[in-house]
Structure 1
Amino acid sequence: MNGTDYYIPSLVLGIALLAKAPTLWRGRRDPMLSSVLALLCMATASFALAAPPTIRVVNETTGVPNVSAPLVYSTLCAVSCATLILIIHWRGGPAEALRRRTRAWMIFYGCLAVSLFVLFALGDAPVERLQDLDTYYATTPFIREMIVAYLGGYTIASMVITVMCWLWAREVRLPWLRRGLYVLVTGFVLSFSFAATKLIAVGARWAGHDLDFLSTSVAPPLAGAGAVTTTAGFLIPLLAPRLAPRWASRRAHHKLAPLAKALNRTFKGTAVPMTPPRWRDIEMRATLRESQITDHLLQLAPYLDIEHREAVYQEARGQGRNDSDASVIAAAVMVRAALAARDAGHTPTDPADTPTLPTALDGAAHRLPDVSQHFARLGGTAPLPSVTAEPQESAPR
């Protein structure tokens, strides 16, 4: 009864709240941002308050057995309301319609929260229950209605938001927004499962059966997973567009490494280092690495054999590779052969006959990271390797 199932989600949500708090506080007059702030605050509080150790402290502090119940349930109502309002403002629409819908949900959940305390006051729950209050008092007058009311309100919010997000995800074209909405759908399905599991356990009590484990052991992890997933769903469209370019640059920087190292060994007398300083921004480091590879390939141009590249290209096409991948394979083989020819002391092409780099690389000129990866797969130094590996990605030529 250490409350791990509750404190861990509360901690995760609290970290998300602290990370976004400055931005949310500055924009608190914006209904959408204020809804995010309220949602994170209420969700963090709801899990912290629902933990058995916290319940015991609240009950002992107030001197009222089980007074934590309406407090936790009303907090869940606030979470449901804040989530609905956030989705409404996130999707947008006429200002008057947004105000009308926001007001309606606030009135509904406000009245529901008040009714929970009224029903608790009318009922009789003298025996403190830290984990199984829902099932222990499932048949107690007024307490029974309080339990059904909060679960009903939570279920309504979960179902409405799931449908709204699913329909919206099918309409939007922004990829990160669509992904975030599908994550939200997953999160609210988990939230609905939490409420449904609780209702099944309560219904079992009404029927004279004991399925309390559904309420005490199954439902809490579902609620925690749902809360963390929905938080991720809200954050993905906000953070991913800024993080995705950095991730793409990091991948490109990593994929360019084999070709960069091979060229650096060949042209180790150059003044510009092949590895940009680590203190550089990753986008800058990736750009510098690609630029330096291009510079070295220009130096290698007299050894680039276009006929060799074309032969490998045709071989790759004959093996069923698409046009773009065949170009990548051919370019990698050509560069490898050129390095081998230079290292062997072969006579370079006459400057007048040296191809330009775009002409030599052909369709692979814009896919240097993939050329580098296939170059790494070839291994060795033989000038005429067979086509044995596929590049990692495909792109139109």
Structure 2
Amino acid sequence: MFSEPPLAWRKMILVFFILTSALWVTCLSADIDKGRRKVVHVLEDDTGAVIVQTAPGKVVTHRGGSITLPCRFHHEPENSDPDRIRIKWTKVTDALQFEDVFVALGKQQRVFGSYRGRVFLEEAGLGDASVIIQNVTLEDYGRYECEVTNDMEDDAGFVNLDLEGVVFPYYPREGRYKLNYHQAEDSCKQQDAILASHSQLHKAWLEGLDWCNAGWLEDGSVQYPISHPRDQCGRKDTPAGVRNYGYRHKEDERYDAFCFTSKLSGKVYFLKRFKKVNYAEAAKACVRDGALVAKVGQLYAAWKFQLLDRCEAGWLEDGSIRYPIVNPRARCGGAQPGVRHLGFPDKKFRLYGVYCFRRSKGDTAGGAKSSASGWTRRGGGGGIPTNSTRV
């Protein structure tokens, strides 16, 4: 008769099967879901431990959408009191600090900070610790930890939330290499964007982004993408890639910025007029049309997602002149698609058209308000419905 294997061996076998299950889910989920969330399978054991399983890879949505961050758990014994199980979600920041997002203890729940009114438990049955984030913002991008704790044990898993979007280089009217880290961060926000991450810049480089000036990223590093090596950009004989200056001094050193933005809740359009105007007249014209002068990030988002294609230069909110080209053609600024930039002309005396942005009706800048304390009580019934997303 065979004796039962030691506990350490049983745990190793359990980990093997969980990893095998995660690989199987990765292959299966692309075929069966491609929607709100990935299905994960958690194996049971008899050690009394809490086992947490989150989706492999990442989940993807866009600004303004809704997304499920999947997390399931199993615990023994099954008759333990569910009111003594704590579910906690936190966001992991660059410096390995944790920002509180959501915590539930039994029927009591609390949502923190900017997540109030937007984050809810999915409640898709026993062992479901998944949360739904509604009205996703640019700042929601990043890595999240799901932690489940009972009286004796705890375990955690991680989910990466990605956004469909576009990366663009940015520098102000003052010129190139004028921004320290904090100024670069503010500049992106002023243009309806955030500082891009390294993974976002790398993806943009894979899609063809080529920019010969180094810029800040959200982790404090300075990098730039080169698709076509040339002597003016670090020597012609060096390979293409994302060049990295490393982490720089955030206050003292100055570079450009790489910004990231996502889909719009509104529309960018070129305002048709009989004559060209200076900057002040352009701003008034957009207001008369029920809109505002478009920001740089809004024009890039419209080019990327609305396929805005216009071979006419126009004012933008920062005083620059740009125009978006989806289908390159003669006399429209080159053979590649992109947003053409003609610089920062004199606002008073130079005359151009204007790109306006009109927000969608009923759109609000943030989510719904919650109670002052942030604590709510969970009733029965199912979870909160979500909008369309894709994984």
Tell me the TM-score range normalised by the shorter chain: under 0.3
Higher relative contact order (CA 8 A, sep 6+): 2
Which of the two has greater strand per residue? 2
Which of the two has greater helix per residue? 1
Please, what TM-score do these two structures have when normalized by structure 1? 0.27
